[in-house]
Amino acid sequence: MSAFLDMGGYAAYVWPSYAVTLAVIALNIVWAQRLLKRSRKEALRRLTIGGTEA
Amino acid sequence: MAWTWFHRLASPPHIYRVAGRLTPWLAWPAAALIVAGLIGGLVLAPPDYQQGDGYRIIYVHAPSAWMSLLVYSTMAVAAAIGLIWRMKVAHAVAASCAPIGASFTFAALVTGSLWGAPMWGTYWQWDPRLTSELILLFLYFGYMGLRSAFDDVQRADRVSAVLAVVGVVNVPIIHYSVTWWNSLHQAPSVMRLGEPTMPPSMLVPLLMMLLGFTLFFGALLLVRVRGEVLSRERTASWIREALQP
């Protein structure tokens, strides 16, 4: 296990690379869901003010 | 008429509904492929004969770099369609791409830097590949900054689309930079003519990551496009229909 974590001496480069990439993946999930939620909330608000019927 | 299906396809309520239904079909395979690719790349693939375990950065670096170009190309094509056919949905796609592309370009630059440090002896070099990739990051930032300068979504769509389309010249420059100029960066090992230069035990996890990231982009795009379409919509009847379960 410690050999795995050591990454043949490259641990200081390999693990931060994976951490940054996985963080970017996680952030993208959060950002996308937040955008959709906010758009829904704003659309609902517009509805209550009264939009144009089509 | 041949155009009716196209208009129905591009109609906001249809996009909103279909995108919602499609999201899990891209998101779950993406998650499975990325997890399998991580295990394959970190555990199962053998160490490189030159770079030892240090080369394993490729499994996050190459997919991030691939995303940086794929997302920009998608953004530019969508922006062009939006400009030419005045399609709101296309502009919604373009606007959705920018933050995704910027974040993966950032990841590509950081992981590349972390890979360069032990292998090239430097975190950064003003090399053609690295410089053009950094310009790509600035293009994404410029696009997002330009959008946020307009209160009116329609105007933001049109003006930012021009930047997206013009900036696409950078995409082939990045891709061919390692062939056109002397670069520190290695030449392509997967996306090249002929055989890849890796044994299957190394290549398969990389392909899984590339496909996984691509599907992940698709899923993110679907979620974001739903939000962007909704924020462009003023027709009350379908918003009510879309939002009420």
- Give residue limits of the domains in chain B: 53-189+197-243
**Could you tell me if B209 and B42 are in contact, meaning their C-beta atoms sit under 8 angstroms apart?**
no
Contact list, B64 vs chain A (CB under 8 Å): 21, 24
Residue A11 has pLDDT above 80, yes or no: yes
Q: What is the pLDDT of residue B89?
A: 92
Confidence class of residue B2 from pLDDT cuts 50, 70 and 90? Answer: low
pTM for the structure as a whole = 0.92
Contact call for B230 and A39, based on CB within 8 A: yes
Residue B23 has pLDDT above 80, yes or no: yes
Q: What is the mean pLDDT of residues B155-172?
A: 96
Measure A45 CA to nearest chain B CA, in Å.
11
Residue in chain B nearest A4 by alpha carbon = B43
Q: What is the pLDDT of residue B193?
A: 62
CB pairs under 8 A between A and B: 123
> Which residue's structure tokens are 């299957």?
B200
CA gyration radius, chain B: 20
Residue B75 has pLDDT above 50, yes or no: yes
Contact call for B220 and A27, based on CB within 8 A: no
Q: What is the pLDDT of residue A54?
A: 45
**Pick from B165, B167, B161: nearest CA to B147:** B161
A3 reaches B (C-beta below 8 A) = no
Q: What is the pLDDT of residues B148-159, one digit of tens each?
A: 999 999 999 999
**Pick from B35, B56, B103, B205: nearest CA to A15:** B56
Q: What is the C-alpha separation between B94 and B82, in angstroms, rounded?
A: 8
Tell me what ipTM this predicted complex has: 0.92
Contact call for B64 and A21, based on CB within 8 A: yes
Q: What is the pLDDT of residue B14?
A: 85
Q: What is the mean pLDDT of residues B22-28?
A: 98
Residue B101 has pLDDT above 80, yes or no: yes
Contact call for B236 and A20, based on CB within 8 A: no
Nearest to B117 among A4, A13, A46 (CB): A13
**Pick from B80, B113, B90: nearest CA to B184:** B113
Q: What is the pLDDT of residue B192?
A: 67
Q: What is the C-alpha separation between B72 and B40, in angstroms, rounded?
A: 28
B100 reaches A (C-beta below 8 A) = yes
Q: What is the pLDDT of residue B234?
A: 75
Q: What is the pLDDT of residues B217-236, one digit of tens each?
A: 999 999 999 999 998 887 77
Residue A16 has pLDDT above 90, yes or no: yes
Q: What is the mean pLDDT of residues B100-116?
A: 97
A21 reaches B (C-beta below 8 A) = yes
